[in-house]
Chain A
Amino acid sequence: MDESVFKEVRQLAAETFQTEEKEVTADSSPDTLENWDSIQHLNFVLALEARFQIELSAEDMEGARSIADAVRIVEARISR
């Protein structure tokens, strides 16, 4: 996992789910973060798109259900 991508994803996650960055880990998911509901999930996906200037597919949106998964999906899109 690319550390710089992880840091940026973590920052956006903390902002979107309104929590401290230190509360967000690679394992964070809708089960562990209180504000990670379906609406904030959409906002999170859109923030990732805007920050990394990528476009995520419906499968990507479904797949990004943890920070580690989100980082993996972003990395795959960036390297393309």
Chain B
Amino acid sequence: MMMSSSDQRSHVDRLIADGKPLEAEYEIAQLWRSDPSSAAFVVSRYKLIRSGLSLRPCKVAIERSFTLEPLENVCRAAAFVNGIDVTLRLGPFNAYAQDMLNPESGLYQFDPDVVFLAVLTSDVAPELWTWSARTPDAVAQGLMQRVVSHFQQLIETFRAHSARYLVVHLLERPAYPNQGILDNQTLVSQMAIIGRINDELRRLACRQKGVYTLDYDGLISRVGSLNWRDEAKWEAVRLPIRSEFHRLLAQEWLKFLHPISGRIAKLVAVDLDNTLWGGVIGEDGLAGIKLGKEYPGAAYRSLQQALLDLRERGLLLAVCSKNNIDDAMEAFDKHPEMLLKREDFAALRINWNDKVSNLRAIASELNVGLESIAFVDDNPVERQQVRSVLPEVQIVELPENPTQFESIVRNFPAFERLALSEEDRERSLYYAAHERALELRSQSKTLEEFYHFLHQRVVIQAITPLTLTRVAQLTQKTNQFNLTTRRYSEQQIQAFATRSGWRAYTIRVIDRYADNGLVGVAFTIDSQDTCEIETFLLSCRVIGRGIETALLARIVEEARQRGMRHLKGRFIPTKKNRPAHTFFRDNGFAPLDETSEGVAWQLDLQRGNVPWPAWIELLEAEATV
């Protein structure tokens, strides 16, 4: 029973009038998916309800050589539906160079979180579009050099004026090369030169922190350049993209906005029957389920491959299924075509409880917030139940046709990452160790005994070029044990390091089970005789073992050595950081004052002290390299 888009709109407006923002949000999202003409409506209604939703803010600037005005609403609507509230500035038409080169320009005044630089091949290098077979190699080389230096100047100037993210669209190639099949018979050709310019742009981006490229040509080839282009709109208003594909470009931008705004999924909770395989294991049996390299089992195997790839990217996997555990385990252990093994999952919830309770259990077992969980289930009823009880959980909308499962998962923007740290790749192992430690804790007679048994060794040192990525990532992702929850990019942290009185601490933890890697960060600033803790955070997987006390003890000791009289700190409460709220009091700090910026705490360094936890061993930095 489909409602007309007109009825859907009235329904949304009724829900908003009745003060039901969550239900309205769901209906708006449905409308957005089914009605391609709904962008303006979606944006205007989200504006009415956004204060009642927990959306991540993100300021986006688009610098462009062509008409992108219609993308404004499309991008904002797509972002809203995905939990991100975008404030957007579109640079003046074809004035991207002026905007980026002039430090006084509207771009820098806007100070966006991220800038997309969208330039068409035919705009930046018309010669590449009017290429002739007679173009001498030397001219082609010169042209390539000119285009690359143009981008290099833009990127470097931008970096000199801004520490924010920059995403450069790579150049697209024509549908048909001007010289036909001849173009492909030489090394210096129209297509080859565009490809080489793109290689150089990737190289430029890799050299700068926080600069990325977007494979615009790859995006076009997903639908085909003949479909992509709208010649009538191009000639009339310089809009080259057919309207039905505006969403595809917005989706590609979203893949950057998710990691930049911190709206990411850290854990994927998947169903089993008719999701990881076709059929029902409890009824069809091991030989009866559909899974393999041919139809109809291939679709499920492809989804498993996509999930494995997410695991390699550092996401955690969990099973959330209504099944008999023995049946499910038989499939994992004995089915020859299963790509995913039970060790690939950080948690298994296979029972007859409802999915909501199981998701809650997974969240608390793995210390992952519900808003960081993505739920993958073929059954729309289960999805709806989860959505209505746990609106924070990100729902992956699987279509009815399983052959589309894989691409839906691969295109889900909250799975994207801007960088891969070693810690990410090994995180699943830590969680396995964490589970063993939890088991052990229940066996230890006292907590202290447990701590000693854990045999924790820590390394505390300043940020190094090798740890910068991880430090920035921790500030962006850590929610629970985070006193101030200030999010920083790598570039911002690098900029801090030049301030006088500024110090950074990182802490790495090794225990009986695993090298947990870099798990804690603190920044402090000295001002006269007071040292203030600006940032203090600890990854949730090591909370409650005295690591936080060790880091604080080190800060106290060093501050005293520098002749500081006071150590000041601030606890800024958020929805998530309850686990840290007694931290200052527990360590002998006295409350100073309470403002809208949280409670300030102070430790008198002449009287008070924070003792080093006896069960933690401090290692020298060199000893572990």
Contacts and interface: CB of A to CB of B under 8 A. Distances in A.
Interface of A: 7-8, 11-12, 15-16, 18, 39, 42-43, 46-51, 55-58, 61-62
A48 B263 CA distance: 33
Contacts of A42: 67, 69-70, 237, 239
Contacts of A49: 243
Interface string B321-352: 00000000000000000000000000000000
B236 A61 contact: yes
Contact of B37 (A18, A47, A55): A47
Given A42-B237, A57-B232, A58-B232, A47 B9 contact: no
B422 interface: no
Contacts, number: 52
B598 interface: no
Contacts of B70: 42-43, 46
A50 B6 contact: no
B73 interface: yes
A55 B69 contact: no
Contacts of A15: 40-41, 44
B35 interface: yes
Interface residues of B, number: 24
B288 interface: no
Interface in B23-50: 35-37, 39-41, 44
Contact of A51 (B35, B67, B232): B35
A49 to B, nearest CB: 5
B32 to A, nearest CB: 12
Interface of B: 5-6, 9, 35-37, 39-41, 44, 67, 69-70, 73, 230, 232-233, 235-237, 239, 243-244, 246
Contacts of B246: 46
A18 B45 CA distance: 11
The prevalent SS among residues of A at the interface is helix
Nearest to B247: A50
Most chain A CB neighbours (cut-off 10 Å) among B37, B44, B67: B37
A72 B41 CA distance: 24
Contacts of A61: 232-233, 236-237
Contacts of A55: 230, 232
A46 B243 contact: yes
B67 A12 contact: no
A19 to B, nearest CB: 11
Given A42-B67, A42-B237, A57-B232, A50 B37 contact: yes
A8 to B, nearest CB: 7
A11 to B, nearest CB: 6
A8 B6 CA distance: 8
Given A15-B40, A18-B44, A51-B37, A43 B6 contact: no
A47 B6 contact: no
A59 B232 CA distance: 9
Most chain B CB neighbours (cut-off 10 Å) among A12, A15, A43, A56: A15
A52 B41 CA distance: 16
11 contacts: A11-B9, A12-B37, A15-B41, A16-B40, A42-B67, A43-B40, A46-B243, A47-B39, A49-B243, A51-B37, A57-B232
Closest 9 CB pairs of A and B: A51-B37, A50-B36, A50-B37, A58-B236, A15-B40, A47-B37, A46-B243, A39-B69, A15-B41
B394 to A, nearest CB: 26
A50 B243 contact: yes
B73 A43 contact: yes
Nearest to B237: A42
Given A49-B243, A58-B235, A58-B236, 20 more contacts: A11-B6, A11-B9, A15-B41, A15-B44, A16-B40, A18-B40, A42-B70, A42-B237, A46-B243, A47-B40, A50-B35, A50-B243, A50-B244, A51-B5, A51-B37, A55-B230, A55-B232, A57-B232, A58-B232, A58-B233
